[in-house]
Structure 1
Amino acid sequence: MNTTYLSQSNKSKQSKWYLVDAQGYTLGRLSTEVAKILRGKNEPSFNPSYNIRGYVIIVNTEKIDVSGRKRLQKVYHRHSGKPGGLKKETFGELQKRLPNKIVENAVRKMLPKGRLGRQIFKSLKLYPGPNHPHDAQEPLTIQI
C-alpha cells in the first residue's frame, strides 16, 4: 500500500510575516517574488496543494516603477456589466488613483486560479505609504 507523507509541522508553526518596500522596484520583478513567498515556495515543506500561511506586507506601492513606456501604454480594463460600461485607464492614471490595485492585480494573476489561490491572496497586505498597522506581528524585512 502506498502512503502519502503529510507535513504536520505546517499546522503547528506560527505564520511568518514579511515586509517589502516597493520603492524603486519594478512591478513584475516584485510581484513574482511576492507570489513565490505567498505560495510558500521559499519553505522547505512546500506542497502545491497546501496554503503555507506566509503573509506579505508591501508598503510604498505608489512608488513602484515599470520599464519602458508602460506608464503610458499599459492599459487596465474594467466593466460595469452594463452596455457601454467598459472603462479604460493607463498605468499612470491608475497609479495616481488606486496604487494598490496595480500590485494587487499583478500578484493575483500569478497565483493559482481557484479556491486555493483566493485563500492565499488574502495573505497579501498592501499600503500606498510607508506606514502599516502590522508592527505587532514583527515582520521580517526582505530585499528582493
Structure 2
Amino acid sequence: MINKTQILHIEKTQQWYLIDAKNHRVGRIATEIANILRGKRQVSFHPSQSTANHVIIINAQEIKVSGNKSEQKLYYKHSGRPGSLKIERFENLQQRLPHKIIENAVKGMLPKGPLGRQIFKNLKVYAGEQHPHTAQQPINIEL
C-alpha cells in the first residue's frame, strides 16, 4: 500500500472583511489582518495556497503605537538610485500617508515571494471612514 497525500479542493468564495483601526495598536491589528488574508482562520488552510479573502481597513489615520514609538520609529524608502535614501518618523508618515503604516506592517508579516505579493493585493486601507466597497457587503470584525 502506497501512502498518498490527499489535497482538498474546496471551492473558494470571496469573503470581504471590514476592520476599524481606530485606537488599535499597529502590530496587534497587523497580525490579525495577516492571518485573515492568509486564510489561517479557515479549515482549508494550506501555506502554499492563496485564499480569496479581502480585508478593508478604515480609520487608518487614528491608529496608535505604544511607548515613545511615535517619535522614535523610523520608516525607510529607497528608489535604488545612489543617495536617495529617505527616512521619515512615524508621526510625520501618519499625517502624510496614514495607510502606508498598516500596509508596511502587514506586508512584513506575509510570505516573501509571488504568493505574498498576490495576497497583499487583497488588502485595502483607507485613512477615513469612507470606502468604496459597500457593494461587496463586508463582514464587520471587532478586534
Q: Shorter-chain TM-score: what band?
A: over 0.9
Match of 2:120 in 1: 121
Partner-residue secondary structure (3-state), 2:48: coil
Over residues 44-103 of structure 1, what are the superposed CA-to-partner deviations in whole Å (9 max), with x where a residue is unaligned?
111111111111000010110000010000001112323321111000000111001010
Partner-residue secondary structure (3-state), 1:81: coil
Partners of 2:81 and 2:14 lie apart in 1 by 42
CA contact (8 A) 2:12 2:51 kept: no
- Structure 2 matches for 1:39-78, cutoff 5 A? 39-78=38-77
Amino acid at match of 1:46: F
Match of 1:6 in 2: 7
Amino acid at match of 1:97: R
Amino acid at match of 1:107: V
Q: State the TM-score, normalizing by the size of structure 2.
A: 0.95
Amino acid at match of 1:5: Q
Q: Which runs of 4+ in 1 moved over 4 A?
A: none
Match of 1:82 in 2: 81
> Does 1:139 find its partner at 2:138?
yes
Structure 2 unaligned regions, length at least 5: none
Match of 2:33 in 1: 34
Alpha-carbon RMSD across the aligned residues, in angstroms, is: 1.0
CA contact (8 A) 2:21 2:62 kept: yes
Partner-residue secondary structure (3-state), 2:16: strand
Partners of 1:142 and 1:34 lie apart in 2 by 10
Structure 1 unaligned regions, length at least 5: none
Partners of 2:113 and 2:83 lie apart in 1 by 29
Partner-residue secondary structure (3-state), 2:128: coil
Match of 1:92 in 2: 91
Partners of 2:139 and 2:55 lie apart in 1 by 9
Over residues 12-50 of structure 1, what are the superposed CA-to-partner deviations in whole Å (9 max), with x where a residue is unaligned?
332111000000100000000000000100001111111
Partners of 2:140 and 2:52 lie apart in 1 by 17
